[in-house]
Chain A
Amino acid sequence: MSFDHIMSVTIGGLTVGMIYALIALGYTMVYGVLKFINFAHGEVFTVGGYVAAFSLLAMGIDASTPWLKVAGAIALALVAAVTVPMVLGFLIERIAYRPLRGRSRIIPLLSAIGVSIVLQQLIIIIFGPKPVTIPTLALSSASVSFLGVNVRVLALVIIAVSAALMIGLTYLVKSTRIGKAMRATSQDMEAAEMMGIDTNRTIAFTFLVGSALAGIGGLLVVMYYGSLKYDAGFLYGLKAFTAAVLGGIGNIPGAVVGAIVLGMTETYGVSVDLGFLAWFVVAGLVLGLYVQMVRVPNRRLAHIAADRRTPEYERSIMNVYRLTPYHGIKTLLAERTDALLSVSAVDAVRLMAGNIFLAVLAAVMFINSSARIDTRWQPVIAFVVLMVILMFRPSGILGEAVTEKV
């Protein structure tokens, strides 16, 4: 396990994460405004990729084309990969969602799944069922030395472009007139209307922006991997949606954070040695023990009236958490629940079992430290991490964009 390897895995993870983020933003923005999941968004991404690939092919670009011509072709492909998805996103909203607005939430959701299936079939009908492949370009295979590591230029381009787009989007939503209208619409559509905001236009604009970002994502994926399949949008869409939920649905920075966490997890999980991954388990264990032994008892003590906080009492509370295995077995044997301390034997044993499990897991990983997890397990690892994060933070890493109703 060299530094070089970790570095290149990190950049790989970040690249994948940024692509997820570009798609996830569309999910989260639409959810923020309409409170439903636009399942057709993954297909909008695929269409972006296909349009980009076919425009590159149509312009006859290959490895021998001079770079200026390549740059021009990519610029044209970018225009196509932004415009077509924008038109598509606009039409989807107009045809499949707007007539159903105001109905119970399950109805536009069904419509979204329907649109997704229809679009996938249309892609097959128009472009054929075979994956589209673009010729290898000098740009997509070029690499550069970055912090002493060989990195694909394209990976850095993807990270930079996505970051710039996200900063732009944040500015758009936070500071511009239309962004304020978007936020007002997402919080109270009716009140926004009565304050003079054309909510239909605002919603259409949200779809335009989300689709443009997904289209750019499609172009970047085609250039990075060289090919795209008609059903790619399903998995990318699902992962981007997961990222949006992971970061906190409806929350724009959350979508980015969730996407990076997901991208990193997927990449790290199968690309580094178990011995390295074990440190993450150790970190989790240390964090858990800190919460269990310091945060929770202190917080519990803070709720207790000062006159009851004798030193013996404080010690007895701390002991429950600090010496969980010992205390857990003792309470279990005594078959009693310590009501005063409000920690039951079952709780104590659970905490103990969790700590032991993580410790054993880390030990096993350290013993097999040079082994790696097979790539086929990638979705499983991502799923486990998702479950663990959502178990502890059901509203996502940065929390949902709450709309407090008074």
Chain B
Amino acid sequence: MEPVLELQDVSMSFGGLKAVDSLSFTVRENEIVSIIGPNGSGKTTTFNLISGLYEPHSGDILLKGESVAGLRPDLVHNKGISRTFQSLRLFTNMSVLENVLVGMHSVTSAGPFASMLRLPSVRREEKAMYDKAQEILGMFPGRFSGPRQHQPAFSLSYANRRRLEIARALASDPVLLLLDEPVAGMNPAESHEVMEQIRMLREKGYTILMIEHDMHVVGGVSDRVIAMDHGVKIAEGTYDEVANDPQVVEAYLGKRAADATA
């Protein structure tokens, strides 16, 4: 399988704190990789580095062999990396449908003059965008149907906001989808549903890198798991391998617990 994303010795520090320390890993095509680790272990920083919000101090980030390190976030998105956010960041005053359409910004091209004149090319593009949005929203059966699409995003329930973030990220047909805690704050039934949807996304051919704390979900969908602590990768492998790794147990539960299981 061809590597989609490669991190090569990526480091990033805030002042004296090394948030990410020589991190290297690979995500291959049509793979689901999960990053786990205690709070403050550098998972979200890693996501922010990949999506261009931060520039790594050293190392390189390659998307399909092409460096994207230090590129502006919108350009990274144009290259095909789309993401969701741990603390939801929908455009809350825009409608459900509009949020998805905004997600297509980088793959559409209608200019202001053409849009104002409603040229045929713009109308075709709008029709295509609308159909595509319906297809994406349709992946969440019953959640975004009919009049609900025209409600502002702030009127959605918490779980639906998380779903809409995924829908928005899918709108640009990303090469790599970054999911930052997709089931955070959901109840078990809801998170199970999201897990099924993530599986379905893999069947559709998406490549996913995910941060998640819910071990049921991590164990349920991941091909590989990467464990981080204090900015360093401490383990990598299948879910079972990582879950039983003494260093991982220590990071989560402390040294005594690790000794007890060893």
Binding site for B on A (CB under 8 A): 168, 171-172, 175-181, 183-184, 187-188, 190-199, 205, 401-406
**Contact at A181–B73, with CB atoms within 8 Å?**
no
Partner of A187, one of B51, B72, B88, B92: B92
Tell me whether A196 and B172 are in contact in the complex, defined as CB-CB below 8 angstroms, given that A176-B115, A180-B105 are known contacts.
yes
Give chain A residues whose Cβ lies under 8 Å from the Cβ of B93.
183, 187, 401-404
Give chain A residues whose Cβ lies under 8 Å from the Cβ of B82.
195-196
Could you say which of A168, A179, A194 has the most chain B C-beta atoms within 10 Å of its C-beta?
Answer: A194
**Contact at A176–B74, with CB atoms within 8 Å?**
no
Known contacts A191-B89, A197-B105; 16 additional CB pairs below 8 A are A176-B112, A177-B110, A178-B110, A180-B98, A180-B102, A183-B91, A184-B105, A187-B94, A190-B73, A193-B52, A194-B76, A194-B77, A196-B74, A196-B106, A198-B74, A406-B87
**Contact at A172–B112, with CB atoms within 8 Å?**
yes
**Contact at A194–B87, with CB atoms within 8 Å?**
no
Interface residues in B, total, Cβ within 8 A:
37
CA distance A180 to B76 in the complex (A): 20
Could you say which of A171, A197, A205 has the most chain B C-beta atoms within 10 Å of its C-beta?
Answer: A197
**Least Cβ–Cβ distance between A124 and chain B, in angstroms:** 34
Binding site for A on B (CB under 8 A): 51-53, 72-74, 76-78, 82-83, 85, 87-94, 98, 101-103, 105-108, 110-112, 115-116, 154, 161, 168, 172
CA distance A344 to B163 in the complex (A): 50
CB closest residue in chain B, given A401: B93
Partner of A406, one of B72, B88, B115: B88
CA distance A279 to B52 in the complex (A): 61
**Least Cβ–Cβ distance between A185 and chain B, in angstroms:** 9
**Contact at B73–A194, with CB atoms within 8 Å?**
yes
CB closest residue in chain A, given B79: A196
CA distance A195 to B174 in the complex (A): 11
**Least Cβ–Cβ distance between A172 and chain B, in angstroms:** 6
Does more than half of chain A's interface fall in helix, strand or loop, or is it mixed?
helix
**Least Cβ–Cβ distance between B29 and chain A, in angstroms:** 22
A-B contact pairs, 14 of them (CB 8 A): A176-B112, A177-B110, A178-B115, A187-B94, A191-B85, A193-B53, A195-B77, A195-B172, A196-B74, A197-B74, A197-B102, A405-B92, A406-B88, A406-B154
CA distance A187 to B103 in the complex (A): 14
Count the A-B residue pairs with Cβ separation under 8 angstroms: how many?
Answer: 103
Give chain B residues whose Cβ lies under 8 Å from the Cβ of A175.
115
**Contact at A177–B105, with CB atoms within 8 Å?**
yes
CA distance A111 to B199 in the complex (A): 52
Give chain A residues whose Cβ lies under 8 Å from the Cβ of B107.
196
**Least Cβ–Cβ distance between B104 and chain A, in angstroms:** 8
CA distance A197 to B51 in the complex (A): 13
Give chain A residues whose Cβ lies under 8 Å from the Cβ of B94.
180, 183-184, 187
Partner of A168, one of B73, B116, B154, B168: B116
CB closest residue in chain B, given A183: B94
Partner of A184, one of B51, B91, B106, B110: B91
**Contact at B105–A172, with CB atoms within 8 Å?**
no
Tell me whether A184 and B116 are in contact in the complex, defined as CB-CB below 8 angstroms, given that A191-B91, A194-B73, A197-B74 are known contacts.
no
Tell me whether A194 and B98 are in contact in the complex, defined as CB-CB below 8 angstroms, given that A403-B93, A404-B154 are known contacts.
no
CA distance A141 to B112 in the complex (A): 36
Could you say which of A176, A177, A181, A188 has the most chain B C-beta atoms within 10 Å of its C-beta?
Answer: A177
**Least Cβ–Cβ distance between B121 and chain A, in angstroms:** 12
**Contact at A194–B112, with CB atoms within 8 Å?**
no
Tell me whether A194 and B53 are in contact in the complex, defined as CB-CB below 8 angstroms, given that A180-B98, A404-B154 are known contacts.
yes
